[in-house]
Amino acid sequence: MSSKRILVPVSETSTLRETVGYAVKEALDGARSDDPGLVRFVWICSPQTDTVTDEQKEAGEEILSRASLWATEDAGDHEAELTVETAILGESEYIFSPSDVAALLEEEVAASDIDRIVLDPEYDPGIGAPLLRPLEVELAQRTNVTVDEAPVERATRRVPLLRQTSAAGVGVLFGTAFVFYQILNGAFTLFDLVTGTMSATIVAVTLARVSLNRRPDSGMPVRIVRGIIYIPYLLYEIIAANLVVSAVILNPRLPIDPRMTRVRADVVGPLPTTTLANSITLTPGTLTVRVRGQHLVVHTLIPWARDGLFDGSLERAVRFVFYGRGSMAIPSPKERGDTEVLQPPTEEDGAASTDPQTQEDTTGGAE
Amino acid sequence: MMGTIRAGAIIACLVLGLLFTLVSTVGVLRLPDIYSRAHTASQADTLGAGFAITGVVLSLGVQAPTIKAVLLLVFIFVTNPTAAHAITRSADEEGIEAWTVDDDRSDVDLAADAETGGENA
């Protein structure tokens, strides 16, 4: 039986100190100097923009060095029986769901031969969703290592629903609510302007802390204008694709060739990814089935649509909306090698279907 | 004269809307599996409803309710892909294998697969 090898994902929390202490105590339990226990601290980046900023990385390194300092401190006289390692994970990937985090940790478990994961009860890598419970479930499904929460004294504080807000946030919400009120109302009399101002104020003041995910920044008006430019382009793509797909459906001689594909899209962040995935689905012939990090699993109906997807014109347009004109000039997913047909046309492909026995039975039953 | 052109445009929009809805219906009946059908089912929403609402906008002309009609279109364009994604994602989670031309399953097998959640696939 090897000694305890423990993986601890860390983030800036009030219970980190106690979690480190617990992990060290558990790792030292049963460790000898010729067979030292291991505590591996990992920090997961969650870039919200194109790349990880140096500031983010420094913050991560700071947390990691603090954790390893604490670990050495806690080991005290038994320092020789404990190995402490640190690592930063997920720099090159866009992490946005508990299963992404679990996948990263799973790789770590395999790479470092970990046999136990200790979770901080307040662990939150900042991906913008309550995480702990779904992460525990995912880890239990994916790995066969023990996963437990560190017992801490402090009462656990759950992820707050209310976020910080700013004057700009309130202002944006007020403007949206006011314009929406006037549109639905449609009369623009003095009475409506007064009641509209009143209700928009109430909405903005009471709901600004729950309805905006991030603070509005100076780039927002520019992105809105670029979004408006994007709409006619998207409409053109939708109509063109609709005509091609309609022809395929109405003409029995034109064959379909549906295949599942995977594309690694070069957009990052919840809103850009959603925009791209929705645009892909709106265009007939391509349909986003799953989003795993930056990888979109797309079902394509006909080769024409598949080529369009691999040429990445929609991806470029979405990059234009969120990152500006300069970002449009990137190679297509095909040139980057970021495309993959998950169901390649081979002879063996049919093997994935029903086994011969059942198939005979069902066909026989139908006749 | 202007009235005639406008009436013509309205009729053209409605006919196109109906046409795309028809295509979508035919597609849902003709295509083999849940993934391919989701492609064509959304056509009824995007261009079918799109042209119908364009017809409504033309007949309303420039007035306040027109903006509501346009907003309607915006919401359809946001919700339609979300619904299509939700349906196919759950199909994927159930483990339903997408049909390809190399696949020798018949539509009867596919129906059986859908019932068992693709367990015998």
B108 Cβ contact partners less than 8 Å away, ≥ 6 residues apart: A362, A363, A365, A366
| Confidence at residue A17, expressed as pLDDT on a 0 to 100 scale | 82
Q: Is residue A155 situated within a structural domain?
A: no
The percent of residues in chain B predicted with pLDDT above 90, rounded, is 19
**Among A256, A258, A350, residue whose Cα is nearest residue A300:** A258
Report the DSSP beta bridge partners of residue A83.
Answer: A38
Distance from CA of A251 to the nearest CA of B (A): 11
Is residue A364 pLDDT above 50, yes or no? no
Q: Is residue A50 situated within a structural domain?
A: yes
DSSP strand pairing (A146-149 vs A116-119): parallel
Contacts of B77 in chain A (CB under 8 A): 282
CATH code of the domain covering residue A69: 3.40.50.620
pLDDT confidence tier of residue A177, bands split at 50, 70 and 90: very high
Q: Is residue A199 situated within a structural domain?
A: yes
C-alpha span between A109 and A66 (Å, rounded): 22
A233 and A207 share a domain?
no
A227 and A189 share a domain?
no
Q: Is residue A359 situated within a structural domain?
A: no
| Confidence at residue A361, expressed as pLDDT on a 0 to 100 scale | 37
End-to-end CA distance of chain A: 60
CB contact under 8 A, B32 and A362: no
Q: In the sheet that A295-300 helps form, which strands lie side by side, from edge to edge?
A: A286-292, A295-300, A259-264, A339-341
The 10 Å CB-count burial string (b at 16+, else e) for A176-195 is ebbeebbeeeeeeeeeeeee
C-alpha span between A301 and A285 (Å, rounded): 5
Residue type (1 letter), A256: I
| Confidence at residue B53, expressed as pLDDT on a 0 to 100 scale | 92
C-alpha span between A72 and A24 (Å, rounded): 9
Q: Distance between alpha carbon A203 and the CA centroid of its chain, in Å?
A: 30
A245 Cβ contact partners less than 8 Å away, ≥ 6 residues apart: A284, A285, A301, A302, A305, B27, B39, B40, B43
State ipTM.
0.81
Distance from CA of A367 to the nearest CA of B (A): 11
Distance from CA of B10 to the nearest CA of A (A): 18
Find, in chain B, the residue whose alpha carbon is nearest to that of A182: B64
C-alpha span between A189 and A177 (Å, rounded): 17
Q: Is residue A154 situated within a structural domain?
A: no
A13 and A118 share a domain?
yes
A176 and A41 share a domain?
no
A255 and A306 share a domain?
yes
A17 and A93 share a domain?
yes
Tell me the average pLDDT across A102-114.
Answer: 82
A145 and A188 share a domain?
no
Is residue A31 pLDDT above 70, yes or no? no
Tell me the average pLDDT across B5-24.
Answer: 92
Tell me the average pLDDT across A112-124.
Answer: 80
Residue to substitute from B21, B54, B102, interface A, most A β-carbons within 10 A: B102
C-alpha span between B65 and B71 (Å, rounded): 10
A65 and A132 share a domain?
yes
Is residue A252 pLDDT above 50, yes or no? yes
Report the DSSP beta bridge partners of residue A119.
Answer: A149
CB contact under 8 A, A284 and B65: no
pLDDT confidence tier of residue A1, bands split at 50, 70 and 90: very low
Joined together, the tokens standing for residue B96 give 């339903």
**Residues belonging to chain B:** 121
Q: Which of B84, B98, B121 sits opposite A260 (nearest CB)?
A: B98
A9 and A135 share a domain?
yes
C-alpha span between A75 and A20 (Å, rounded): 11
A265 and A321 share a domain?
yes
| Confidence at residue B52, expressed as pLDDT on a 0 to 100 scale | 92
| Number of domain units in chain A | 3
Q: Is residue A309 situated within a structural domain?
A: yes
Q: Which domain holds residue A226?
A: 220-344
| Confidence at residue A357, expressed as pLDDT on a 0 to 100 scale | 37
pLDDT digits (tens, 9 = 90+) for A261-301: 888 888 877 788 888 999 999 888 888 988 877 788 889 88
Joined together, the tokens standing for residue B104 give 């020798």
Is residue A32 pLDDT above 70, yes or no? no
Q: Is residue A40 situated within a structural domain?
A: yes
Is residue A316 pLDDT above 50, yes or no? yes
A182 and A75 share a domain?
no
CB contact under 8 A, A281 and B81: yes
pLDDT digits (tens, 9 = 90+) for A144-171: 777 777 777 655 555 555 566 677 778 8
Is residue A367 pLDDT above 80, yes or no? no
Query: Phi-psi bin for A126: left (phi > 0), alpha (psi -120 to 50), beta?
Result: left
Q: Is residue A366 situated within a structural domain?
A: no
Distance from CA of A290 to the nearest CA of B (A): 6
Is residue B85 pLDDT above 50, yes or no? yes
Q: Collapsing DSSP states into helix, strand and coil, what is residue A340?
A: strand
**Among A305, A257, A284, A299, residue whose Cα is nearest residue B48:** A284
pLDDT confidence tier of residue A213, bands split at 50, 70 and 90: low
A199 and A303 share a domain?
no
pLDDT digits (tens, 9 = 90+) for B36-51: 888 888 877 788 888 9
Contacts of B105 in chain A (CB under 8 A): 353-354, 359
